[in-house]
């Protein structure tokens, strides 16, 4: 048997559903398929689906000997290193909540791009004994140790075996890949422990069409852990400005909205509001009214409506606050859900945030072509209103073209805290 031992440095918490288990860290069931896919694409010089059969035919000894199986023939063991820190991950925590968590020594990231389990988070703040039962926690160790084991057999014409091939690509793989929940927003970031900043920068420039890097790191000192609250608040703010715009303090139009505005394409939220207006009423005969927080701005209101936001990842739903919600409860919202047809649930964002040594990297290539020029249907649901469940309000197509690199060039012009790696 041949072995390879690799030590990783962990840069950001891994959002983990098995947090209660001893030594819960990276799972081999996630790492190995991703690494296999990465290696196959490198050996084949193209997209996985296009090259996997050719690579298996060329490097037969590299694969588990089963028809239709494209798993590489090695085993992987992973062990957490250092002490475990647990974080409550939330999109928003009030000042009083932070004070309570501080009092009970519960670590937290208060303004992150993670929106799930908010009700569970509130229970933890209110009832501290719920902390052990929360579905997912952010786990942070010093790093992890990976041990690869494989048969000592030649897999290519140069006399290399599978361990040699893994060793060749492992540095690049971890430099560009995150793991766990919300991995595209910077969680679950690892690199090879002795990697230098310049090496990482060169890998990212080589692997992606574009790479933007924060000018400053979010470490208090060289040996300190990053200030995750500041770091993930920054990631949330940048992505929000790029994709959906911001209503915090003052309204800022989305970079995506502005990009398509130049092409006389109107984005979907205006269309939704037009389809909803005057259509839904309560049991007293009063029309439900959407609350508008935005100042009137110059905007192409005559353009063709398209489902624009989908090019940067398919949203699960849109939420609108009502001026006159059911039961006079402000928590009851009007929700627009998205349906792209059979097999279409959620497109991953083509942008990835990678955090390394406290610095934020934004990387990407192209959008998934399947999302372009595709029809989507939209439905309205109103919380606590039984009469309005999955009420259709229309259909929109996504734009037929989208150049992600050019879009990011325009979008990042206003992000003065970032530089483009050339």
Task: State pLDDT tens for residues 347-384.
Answer: 788 999 999 999 999 999 999 888 999 999 999 999 99
Task: Please determine, for residue 209, whether its predicted confidence score (pLDDT) is greater than 70.
Answer: yes
Same domain, residue pair 133 and 56: no
Same domain, residue pair 181 and 71: yes
Q: Judge whether 228 lies within some domain.
A: no
What's the average model confidence in pLDDT over 92-108? 93
Same domain, residue pair 322 and 409: yes
Give the Cβ contact number of residue 278 at 10 Å: 10
- Convert the pLDDT of each residue in 269-317 to its tens digit: 989 999 999 999 988 899 999 987 655 555 556 689 999 999 998 887 8
- What pTM does this model have? 0.91
Largest CA distance in the chain: 80
Task: Please determine, for residue 252, whether its predicted confidence score (pLDDT) is greater than 90.
Answer: no
| Cα–Cα nearest to 393, from 341, 338, 346 | 338
- Convert the pLDDT of each residue in 264-282 to its tens digit: 999 899 899 999 999 999 8
Same domain, residue pair 266 and 359: yes
Question: Which of 102, 137, 172 delimits the end of a domain?
Answer: 137
Q: Round the average pLDDT of the chain to a whole number and report it.
A: 90
Pairing state between β 75-81 and 143-150: antiparallel
| Cα–Cα nearest to 114, from 141, 147, 137 | 137
Q: Judge whether 104 lies within some domain.
A: yes
> How many structural domains compose the chain?
3
Give the Cβ contact number of residue 282 at 10 Å: 17
Same domain, residue pair 173 and 319: no
Task: Please determine, for residue 392, whether its predicted confidence score (pLDDT) is greater than 90.
Answer: yes
Task: Please determine, for residue 421, whether its predicted confidence score (pLDDT) is greater than 60.
Answer: yes
Q: Judge whether 213 lies within some domain.
A: no
Q: Judge whether 229 lies within some domain.
A: no
Same domain, residue pair 181 and 267: no
Whether residue 103 contacts residue 79, with contact meaning beta carbons closer than 8 Å, is answered with no
What's the average model confidence in pLDDT over 5-9? 97
Same domain, residue pair 254 and 389: yes
pLDDT of 220 reads 62
Confidence of residue 22 (pLDDT cuts 50, 70, 90): confident
pLDDT of 226 reads 82
Q: Judge whether 25 lies within some domain.
A: yes
pLDDT of 345 reads 61
What's the average model confidence in pLDDT over 389-405? 95
Task: Please determine, for residue 222, whether its predicted confidence score (pLDDT) is greater than 70.
Answer: no
Please work out, in degrees rounded to the nearest 5, the angle formed at the alpha carbon of residue 228 by the alpha carbons of 223 and 229.
135
Same domain, residue pair 79 and 92: no
Q: Which domain holds residue 403?
A: 240-420
Q: Judge whether 72 lies within some domain.
A: yes
Same domain, residue pair 247 and 323: yes
Whether residue 419 contacts residue 216, with contact meaning beta carbons closer than 8 Å, is answered with no
Question: Which of 195, 211, 231 delimits the end of a domain?
Answer: 195
pLDDT of 420 reads 95
- Convert the pLDDT of each residue in 26-78 to its tens digit: 999 999 999 999 999 999 999 999 999 999 999 999 999 998 899 999 999 99
Q: Judge whether 226 lies within some domain.
A: no
Confidence of residue 263 (pLDDT cuts 50, 70, 90): confident
Same domain, residue pair 50 and 114: no
Cα dihedral 216, 219, 220, 221, rounded to 10, equals -100
Same domain, residue pair 131 and 270: no
Same domain, residue pair 345 and 383: yes
Confidence of residue 250 (pLDDT cuts 50, 70, 90): low
What's the average model confidence in pLDDT over 233-242? 94
What's the average model confidence in pLDDT over 230-237? 94
- Convert the pLDDT of each residue in 112-156 to its tens digit: 999 888 889 999 998 887 888 899 999 999 999 999 999 988 887
Q: Judge whether 205 lies within some domain.
A: no
Question: Which of 195, 230, 264 delimits the end of a domain?
Answer: 195
DSSP 223: T
Contacts of 80 (CB under 8 A, 6+ apart): 23, 24, 25, 141, 144
pLDDT of 341 reads 78
* Of residues 220 and 330, more confidently modeled: 330
Distance CA 192, CA 121 (A): 33
């Amino acid at each position: 048997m041949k072995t390879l031992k690799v030590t990783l440095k962990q840069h950001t918490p891994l959002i983990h559903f098995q947090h209660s288990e001893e030594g819960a860290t990276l799972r081999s069931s996630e790492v190995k398929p991703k690494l296999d896919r990465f290696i196959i694409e490198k050996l084949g010089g193209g997209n996985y689906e296009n090259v996997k059969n050719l690579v298996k035919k060329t490097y037969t000894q590299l694969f588990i000997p089963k028809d239709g199986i494209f798993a590489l023939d090695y085993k992987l063991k992973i062990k957490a290193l250092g002490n475990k820190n647990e974080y409550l991950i939330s999109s928003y925590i009030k000042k009083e909540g932070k004070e309570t968590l501080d009092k009970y020594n519960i670590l937290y990231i208060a303004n992150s791009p993670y929106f799930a389990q908010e009700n569970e988070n509130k229970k933890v703040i209110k009832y501290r004994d719920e902390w052990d039962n929360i579905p997912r926690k952010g786990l942070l160790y010093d790093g992890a140790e990976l041990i690869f084991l494989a048969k000592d057999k030649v897999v290519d014409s140069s006399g290399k075996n599978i361990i040699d091939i893994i060793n060749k690509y492992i540095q690049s793989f971890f430099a560009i890949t995150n793991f766990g929940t919300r991995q595209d927003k910077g969680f679950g970031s690892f690199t090879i422990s002795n990697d230098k900043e310049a090496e990482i920068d060169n890998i990212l420039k080589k692997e992606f069409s574009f790479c933007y890097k924060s000018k400053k790191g979010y470490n208090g000192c060289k040996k300190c852990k990053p200030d995750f609250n500041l770091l993930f608040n920054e990631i949330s703010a940048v992505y929000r400005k790029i994709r959906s715009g911001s209503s915090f303090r003052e309204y800022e139009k989305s970079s995506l909205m502005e990009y398509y505005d130049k092409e006389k394409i109107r984005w979907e939220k205006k269309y939704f509001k037009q389809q909803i207006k005057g259509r839904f009423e309560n049991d007293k005969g009063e029309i439900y009214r959407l609350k508008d927080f935005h100042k009137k701005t110059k905007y192409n209101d005559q353009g063709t409506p398209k489902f624009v936001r989908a090019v940067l990842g398919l949203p699960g739903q849109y939420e609108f606050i009502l001026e006159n919600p059911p039961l006079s409860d402000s928590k009851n919202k009007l929700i627009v859900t998205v349906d792209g047809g059979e097999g279409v649930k959620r497109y991953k964002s083509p942008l990835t945030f990678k955090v390394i040594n406290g610095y934020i990297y934004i990387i990407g290539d192209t959008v998934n072509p399947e999302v372009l020029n595709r029809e989507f249907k939209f439905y309205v649901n109103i919380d606590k209103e039984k009469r309005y469940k999955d009420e259709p309000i229309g259909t929109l197509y996504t734009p037929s073209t989208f150049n992600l690199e050019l879009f990011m060039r325009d979008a990042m012009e206003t992000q003065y805290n970032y530089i483009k790696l050339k």
